[in-house]
Structure 1
Amino acid sequence: MVTAIVAIIVFGILVFIHELGHFTVAKLVGIKVHEFALGMGPKLIYTTKGDTLYSIRLLPLGGYVKMEGEDEKSEDERSFNKKPVLARIAVIFAGPFMNFILAIVLFLTFFYFVGSPTTIISKVQDQSPAQVAGIEAGDSIYAINGQKIHTWEEVTERISKSEGSPMEITIIRDGEHLEKTVIPMQDETSNRILIGITTTMKKSLSSAGENALFAIKSIVRGILEFLRNLVGRKVNTGEVMGPVGIINLVGEVSRTGLLDIVSLTAVLSVNLGLMNLLPIPALDGSRILFLIIEMLRGKPVDQDKEGMIHLIGFGILMTFMVFITFQDIQKLFG
């Protein structure tokens, strides 16, 4: 029950923020919005203000903003299809954009309260590669292999990618820059490449902001790499997690604390924002692509043809979602 409640709250926040982006920009550019709905199915709670019906629906899955002339022909001057192309692109783009804004806020909150790892070393393990190289607690890592370091995540990333090759690490000690050659080692327990140092944690808004942006950058890079490998058949669909798998993950994280839920919600928000920007029929990215084509051609793509492409794309997405959900259930009870 707790898992279900937390999952509904998490998904509800993600969808609400996404649709709020569409809704807000639509209102700003003068588009008539018929409904702002959170959830699907029959209406549970609803009220009308001006031209817009605001509703919470029975099934806590998804949500939508219904705009005049978005999916049908309309001669209303306030309809979606009557607005300039750039205005329409802004309306569509605002949904994914708000997911990235949400992720920044959540990661900022997470790193501020947990503390952000800095480039200052708090501890050097005995007989570790770092100690052998002459690195000491209190040293600050300035650069690795000539490239300046800004965050601890960059330190761990460079060490991991070294694959054990010697690294030239520039440290700052008492205001002086010192060069140290470190040969990373592979930990037998975790199989990770390490040099035997621990970071100092710092609670500050600036460091939390830096780590929030770095976290989003890393997630985006990871998703794009995964999608590239998926298309190239270097990974299989078994590594894709659907709604059931995510709900199960939310349940596991909910037992570890509120801040971990905040962090997971941020990760999911980046995923939702980025996936929606992909040029896949029925998703925001595809709609933006059609609007760009319209801008280049000087005239819109036939609305019926575009609608059919989105409908087919939606059907494929739903089929894929059913397949992934079946896989999630097999993993859960297998």
Structure 2
Amino acid sequence: MTTAIAAIIIFFIVVLVHEFGHFAVAKLVGIKVHEFSIGMGPRIGKLNKGETEYSLRVLPIGGYVRMEGEDEKSDDERSFSNKSPISRILVLLAGATMNFILALIIFFIVSIVIGTPTTEIDTVMQNGPAYEAGIKNGDKIISVEGNKISDWQEFKNIFATVENTVDIKVLRDGEVKSFTLDPQIDESGNKVIGISVKTNVSVIESIKYSFTNLIFIITLMFDFIKMAITGNINKGDVAGPIGVIQLIGETTKYGFLSVLNLAAFININLGFFNLLPIPALDGSRILFILVELVRGKPLDPEKEGIIHFIGFVFLIALMLLISYNDINRLNIF
């Protein structure tokens, strides 16, 4: 039950924020909005206010903002298609932008609550790699694999690329000391050296930590795309709605802050994925508008609509395939 509630809340907030971005900017630039919907499938509730219908649908896995002239020709001066290219691009960018902003806010809240990790070691676990190498409490990590580091995220980024041993330099009583460690794999499958670091509660550091995390995760998304193009991923590396729900369930075991971090990660994933130039996604629509700017005239709305429809069918098929793999991987049945 906890998993279901957490999943519904996370999906609802992620979709709500994304669609609200489109909605708010559409209203701001004067586009007529017919419907603001959260969820997919049959409608379970609605509220009419002005020219817009606000609806709630049964499946909290999507949503949409239905604007005048978005997918069809319209003579209405307030239609999406009759607005300037820049206005349309801003509307399309707004959804992902709101997801990124929400992720930044979540990271900031988590950082303020638990503090921002520093590079000063608080505890060295007995019998761990760091303990065996001679690293001590109070040592300050200043270099990893020959790369100078100024914050904990830099350490994590470099450490993630290490395959076998790792060279670490620390500052101890004003003296630089060098160590070579053999990382271990913990119960969760993570590579560790057996240390915990001190944290620092600071608004400035929390803001910096939030942006660093956002950039780091977006970089991971680009790396994933490269791996997908080169065929270096397997079915287990991709999760659909079912897989995400299962991951949310696992995360709830570690507390509310862990769930918040996962929600931030999901927000960034949704925002990033929506900006990919895949037909039916915001990124593809932006690409068509950029082509329009180059050509000096828009593409045929009907032809563009057909392309987006084909892309939508492809995405639904892909979601079903991924969900099928999730069911097999998790042995749900």
TM more than 0.5? yes
Q: Do 1:159 and 1:184's aligned partners in 2 also have CA atoms closer than 8 Å?
A: no
1:199 is matched with 197
Deviations 1:287-312 (A, max 9, x none): 01001111111111111111111100
> Secondary structure in 1 aligned to 2:299?
coil
Q: Unmatched 5+ residue regions in structure 1?
A: none
Q: Do 1:164 and 1:185's aligned partners in 2 also have CA atoms closer than 8 Å?
A: yes
Cα distance between partner residues in 1 of 2:51 and 2:256: 38
* 2:182 is the alignment partner of 1:182: no
1:77 is matched with 77
What amino acid does structure 1 have at the position aligned with 2:249?
G
1:214 is matched with 212
* 2:246 is the alignment partner of 1:248: yes
What amino acid does structure 2 have at the position aligned with 1:263?
N
2:67 is matched with 67
What amino acid does structure 1 have at the position aligned with 2:181?
P
After the TM superposition, which of the residue ranges 147-156 and 186-195 deviates more from structure 2?
A: 186-195
1:148 Cα deviation after fit: 4.1
1:24 Cα deviation after fit: 0.7
Map 1:69-218 → 2, pairs under 5 A: 69-124=69-124, 136-144=136-144, 147-164=147-164, 167=167, 169=169, 171=171, 176=174, 178-187=175-184, 197-218=195-216
Q: Do 1:183 and 1:195's aligned partners in 2 also have CA atoms closer than 8 Å?
A: no
Change (3 A) 1:59 1:181: closer
1:24 is matched with 24
1:140 Cα deviation after fit: 3.0
Change (3 A) 1:56 1:194: closer
Change (3 A) 1:120 1:60: same
1:331 Cα deviation after fit: 1.8
Deviations 1:110-153 (A, max 9, x none): 22223321112223467877678876533433444664423213
What amino acid does structure 2 have at the position aligned with 1:209?
I
Map 1:298-317 → 2, pairs under 5 A: 298-317=296-315
> Secondary structure in 2 aligned to 1:224?
helix
**Structure 1 length-normalised TM:** 0.89
Cα distance between partner residues in 1 of 2:35 and 2:169: 57
Deviations 1:177-234 (A, max 9, x none): x433322223376787666543112333333333322222222222222222122111
Cα distance between partner residues in 1 of 2:61 and 2:275: 20
Cα distance between partner residues in 1 of 2:87 and 2:101: 20
Q: Unmatched 5+ residue regions in structure 2?
A: none
Count of residue pairs brought into register by the alignment: 331
2:323 is matched with 325
**RMSD of equivalent CA atoms:** 2.6
> Secondary structure in 2 aligned to 1:161?
coil
Decide which of 268, 271, 283 is 1:270's aligned counterpart: 268
Work out the percentage of aligned pairs sharing the same amino acid: 45
1:86 Cα deviation after fit: 0.8
What amino acid does structure 1 have at the position aligned with 2:93?
F
Cα distance between partner residues in 2 of 1:59 and 1:132: 52
> Secondary structure in 1 aligned to 2:39?
strand
Deviations 1:251-293 (A, max 9, x none): 2223432222111111100100000011011001000100111
